[in-house]
Structure 1
Amino acid sequence: MSKEKLTLSRQRKEVPLDGAGIDTLSQLLANGLEQAGVNRKDIIRLRLAVEEILGMWSSRAEQETVCTFRCGTRLGRMYLEITAPGKRIDPDEAAADMAGRMLCSNLLAQAGLSPVYSYQDGINRLAIYPSKPQKLSPLIQLLLAILGAAVAGTVLLALPAQVREVATGVVDPLFSALMGILQTLASPMIFLSVCWGIINIGDVHMLGRIGKVVLLRFLGAVFLLTAVTAVCLVWMFQPEGGTASMGETAAAQIYSMILGIIPSNIITPFLEGNSLQIIFMAICAGLVLLVLGEKSSALRVLLGQVNTAVQFMMEIVSRYIPLFVFVSLLSLLLSDAMSNLSGVVKGLLLGIAACVAWPLLYALWACLRLKVSFPMVLRKQLPTYLIALSTASSSAALSTNLETCERKLGISGRIVHFAVPLGQVMFKTGGAVGFFVLALGLSEFYGVAMPLPWVVTGVLTAGLLAIAAPPVPGGSLTCYTVLLTQLGIPAEAVGLAVAGNVILDFFMTSCGISCLQSELMLSANKLGMLDRQQLEKE
């Protein structure tokens, strides 16, 4: 890609909101997206979505309206927006038939996947924030950081002790500073992501029974798979000095832990980094704002703006994740704490095994329930699985996933257009399983005890973080920071977690996508919206 396309040139143009004007705006948008480096398939999808919304604005406008198209770059972030003065015309509320497709727009827009709507001071605004293309993929950058840390650590360990002391005096304070930045952003980011997600997903009542069934099954499956994984694998990890409490003592600790989710005040959870209490408060705040509706419109707007600001800060920090990984691993090498990585390697390998096994088991369960051919279903799911496995990106697999669910698996379009985008954001079974198993390996490595209450806390935290993980660069790093703090694992373990996640992420993504397809088959069957002839057709 040429260097000119890495920056979106500033442009402003006023266009009448009529048939010809919509075509002009659509072309301006396509030109801007192409200049921003967005791939052709996403340009077509975004263009169609914007044309549909502009057509709605045009049909509902009370008078002749002139739209303004703007694009450019602010603080290194590219943007394209279309504004139209007049009364509020929210695509989420204006047409019931668009509800399923627009329900998750704000969640997906955070990853640059769809336009996000807002209304302020009498102006309807539609904005897209495409991700800036990078010369090197994040995977290559992380691999270079890991390799660089290994080489630098090996060289420094071979030098005299005085040189190592000087290097340690430079690396350790730098690691503490970088860790402080992550911990500062992690707690508010998780709180805002959960709270804002509830507000947006709250419109699911527009879909009635479909939305309720799908959401409840999504949430239940994430925690169930993580809990079963814990039961099957936790006994394989035995940290030195770790003791396990059982019986009445363990039951009392679990009871205390559950009650401890309720914070004594709203400040302490953020100061202590207690993720369960932070998520509990976020759920309560989101539900309150959801119930109040328009009565809390100003607060909801403020919350959305703060959420956008915090995620933008995390996007900036995420550009330096390779530096953080390099410093973290180099610090561990200089401290000679990496002499025995068997626990971490075991956690990584078992995490991969679990992420490979669950899609097969989920598909087998669905086939047994539906009484269809297991090999046939696997063949239909395979293309989507391979795309997710090779790219570690649910966004890259989105279009194939939609087509597979509706045309090959026989799932009703009413479910597909709502549940697939939503599922790729919050139905992260692979993420929850991967988080927890990798935490088991890190606990063994650092000698952290893993009694039953610790396991329960790990399952709850991993599941909640997988669901709440913000879909922005650096989101997984935030989750590891919060998870390890909650489980009492030293902060320096984050570098190892991120290094392991480089490999594990491919399997976590493909696991979540395939499990989503099997789950939607079961949900559609429960709702009487599964075309069995299409499903059984080779």
Structure 2
Amino acid sequence: MKIKNEKLEYMLNDSAVDSVAEKVQSFLAALNMEKKNILRIRLTVEEILLNWQEHYDGEVPFTFLTGKRLGAPFISIVLAGESVNPLERMEEECGEWSSRLLVNMGISPTYSYSKGKNIITFKPKKEKMNPMVSLLGAVALAVVLGLLAQMLPASVHEMLTEYFVTPIYDAFLGVLTTVGIPVVFLAIVSGICGVGDVASFGKIGKRMVGKFLQQEFVYAAIGTILAIPFFKLIITTKVNVGAQLASVVGMVMDMLPKNIISPFLEGNCMQLIVIAVALGLTLLVMGERTKLITKGIEQLTDIGMFLLDRLNDVVPVFCFFVVLQLIMSGTAMAVVSAWKVLVGTILLALLGVIFNLIYVGRKKEISPVVLGKKLLPPVLIALATASSSAAFGTNSVNCTKKLGIDNKIVSFGLPIGNTLCHPGHVFIFLLCSLNMAEYYQVECSVVWFVIAAGMCAIMPMVMAPVVGGTAAAYTLLFNQLGIPMTALPVALALSVVCDFFATGLNMAYLQINLLLRADEQDLLDYGVLSKTNG
């Protein structure tokens, strides 16, 4: 269904509220949004209009707009008059960080006041074609044309590679680096600043964020130890304890930038992380005095995410040319050897979920099988769509109605968890790195493994949730680990395939995390949790 721009004028009364709610539902249905998220947005619109109706005396005019801006769907409600922000209650309940995450997911609105007008804006996410279809289609086409290219004369073969395929690859890689490096940096800074808002929830918020972060690094470390034996890596072993200590010290010293410019120019991700953390903590400590700077960084992060989303549309074209280059240069066996990544991601993620089910089952005296069935609804949606946003509505209902988690935990823990809880993607980054290190015979020392585990824990938290964001993250990761950039298209193809399993299993990890945090704070209804028919 084609989306058209529409502008309607109303007088604020009960009839107008019902009419606008119907229009919102129809518009979102055309975007193929999940029904629970459609209902959530519709109820939010109704609450906003009723709030304004209660505040203003008599019927006042307002404008309702829907359509597209720069290809992105939007819903806006504009009401002239004094400033009345109907979203303040939501921000007080969820925290500014959680509210901003919901906005970025397209589920919650933003409020602004300009030129005497109250403006409410939703930016719902339109259901796009499955990225796996377009990416694998590009790879398949590249394989066919690559095999046909083998029949061409050697001079034509070399000319195509040198003057056509390679320049396109280099150009796209340059764009990824240009956009990706600042986005990773800004995402870390804005994320740290946002934690200050979670702190207002006291012990609950601090512990929840800490547990999410701790979990990512623990799974990265365990995954590294379990996965190493299954890859034929060139491991450099040094029995000299002093040399090993010197390597570790050297790694730490290399993390400290010599100046603020070179890490951005060289794409040194570890140094960028150090600068970002230092800046984020400084802004966090200074609080209100740097509020404008913090807001500016958040807005720049949103701009970067938008650019990566647009870049996402041409990723299949990029992969087509690079896979074509792989075949024409005779290095396509990197794809064949990558089956370990898919199998390893599924096994490691499942192993972690099973361990957690057994642990929670014994702790709360509930069958792990029963608990696993209770977790299934959002897991299945995420498995089918590879989208945590698509499963958000179901996940929220599932946590409260089937697991008995208090809404105080769910309201801000769920959106934060969608950003910080990615064990499945930690395993994807880790196994892709080990697989490419095996194929390209990269020398791996103890320090290399430490850096790989640390960066693979961080990357899922800071990358944009689109293929373009994943490509930017791999560009930084491979550059840091000394893996050739020709590994990028293979890693992207693997990530798209594995993303379905990883996102689905992430939903299980997230629900278990929230359940444990609720239990710690005595905010868990054991009666609801123990129901076998829930």
TM-score normalised by structure 1 residue count: 0.90
Task: Look up the match of 2:154.
Answer: 161
* Distance apart, 1:181 and its partner CA: 0.9
Shift in Å, 1:495? 0.3
Letter in 1 for 2:185: F
Counterparts of 1:261 and 1:122, CA distance in 2:
49
CA distance in 2, matches of 1:56, 1:288: 38
Select 2:255's aligned residue among 255, 261, 264: 261
Residue 75 (structure 2) pairs with residue 77 (structure 1): no
The match for 1:503 is 497
Q: Secondary structure at the match of 1:444?
A: helix
Q: Structure 1 residues 447, 108: closer, same or farther in 2, change over 3 A? A: farther
Relative to 1, partners in 2 of residues 1:330 and 1:123: Cα closer, same or farther, differing over 3 Å? same
Q: For residues 24 and 249 of structure 1, do their structure 2 counterparts lie closer, same or farther at Cα, with a shift above 3 Å needed?
A: farther
Q: CA deviation at 1:54?
A: 4.1
What is the aligned partner in structure 1 of residue 432 from structure 2?
438
Q: Give distance in 2, aligned partners of 1:364 and 1:218.
A: 19
Q: Are residue 137 (structure 1) and residue 130 (structure 2) matched?
A: yes
Which of 386, 401, 405 is equivalent to 2:399?
A: 405
Secondary structure class of the residue paired with 1:194:
helix
Query: Which range moved further: 424-433 or 362-371?
Result: 362-371
2:190: which partner in 1?
A: 196
Q: Tell me by how many angstroms 1:430 deviates.
A: 0.9
Does residue 239 (structure 1) correspond to residue 242 (structure 2)? The answer is: no
> What is the CA distance between 1:501 and its match in structure 2?
1.1
Q: In the alignment, which of 222, 231, 240 is matched to residue 228 of structure 1?
A: 222
CA contact (8 A) 1:342 1:445 kept: no
The percentage of aligned residue pairs carrying the same residue is 33
Aligned-partner Cα distance in 2 for 1:106–1:263: 31
Kept in 1, the 8 Å contact 2:345–2:424? The answer is: no
The correspondence for 1:150, drawn from 134, 139, 143, is 143
Shift in alpha-carbon separation, 1:59–1:211, aligned structure 2, 3 A: farther
What is the aligned partner in structure 2 of residue 315 from structure 1? 309
Question: Alpha carbons of 1:198 and 1:23: their partners in 2 closer, same or farther (altered >3 Å)?
Answer: farther
Partner SS for 1:104: helix
Unpaired runs of 5+ residues, structure 1, are none
Identify unmatched segments of 5+ residues in structure 2: none
Report Cα offsets for 1:294-315 as digits up to 9, x if no partner.
Answer: 4334333433332232222212
1:394 aligns with 2:388: yes
1:158-214 CA distance string (max 9 Å, x none): 333223112212111111111111111110111222223333443213322221121
Q: Does 1:50 align with 2:45?
A: yes
**Residue range with higher mean Cα deviation, 512-521 or 261-270:** 261-270
Cα distance in 2 for partners of 1:318, 1:520 equals 32
- In structure 2, the CA distance between the partners of 1:474 and 1:97, relative to structure 1 (3 Å rule), is closer
- Report what 1:184 is aligned to: 178
Maintained 8 Å contact 1:458/1:487? yes
1:420 equivalent among 392, 414, 421: 414
Per-residue CA distance 1:434-470 (angstroms, 9 max, x = gap): 1111111011111111211111111111111111122
Q: 522-531 vs 315-324, which deviates more?
A: 522-531
Q: Residues of 2 paired with 1:226 and 1:461: CA distance?
A: 9
Deviates more, 1:484-493 or 1:35-44: 35-44
Q: Is the 8 A contact 1:196 1:286 kept in 2?
A: yes
Q: How does 1:87-166 map to 2 (within 5 A)?
A: 94-95=88-89, 99-100=93-94, 103-119=97-113, 123-134=117-128, 136-166=129-159
Q: Which amino acid aligns with 1:484?
A: F
Task: Write the distance in 2 (CA, Å) between the matches of 1:254 and 1:527.
Answer: 39
How many Å separate the matches in 2 of 1:280 and 1:62?
Answer: 54
Shift of 1:409: 1.8
* Alpha-carbon shift at residue 473 of structure 1 (Å): 5.3
Cα displacement string for residues 258-293 of structure 1 (whole angstroms, at most 9, x for unaligned residues): 343332322111111112222332333333334444
1:270 is aligned to: 264
Write the letter of the residue equivalent to 2:136: L
Q: 1:459 to 1:54 in 2, by over 3 A?
A: farther
After TM superposition, the score normalised by the length of structure 2 is 0.91
| Distance across 1 between alignment mates of 2:280 and 2:17 | 36
Contact conserved, 1:91 with 1:102, CA < 8 A, in 2?
no
Write the deviation string for residues 342-367 of structure 1: whole angstroms up to 9, x where unpaired. 65332332222212221112222222
Residues 388, 397 of structure 1: 8 Å contact kept:
yes
Partner of 1:334: 328
1:365 corresponds to which of 359, 362, 379: 359
User: 2:518 aligned with 1:524, yes or no?
Assistant: yes
Change (3 A) 1:63 1:518: same
Task: Name the amino acid aligned to 1:358.
Answer: G
Q: Check 1:96–1:155 CA distance in 2 against 1; reply closer, same or farther (3 A cut).
A: closer
SS at match of 2:119: strand
CA separation in 1, counterparts of 2:348 and 2:520? Answer: 27
CA pair 97-325 structure 1, distance change in 2 beyond 3 A? closer
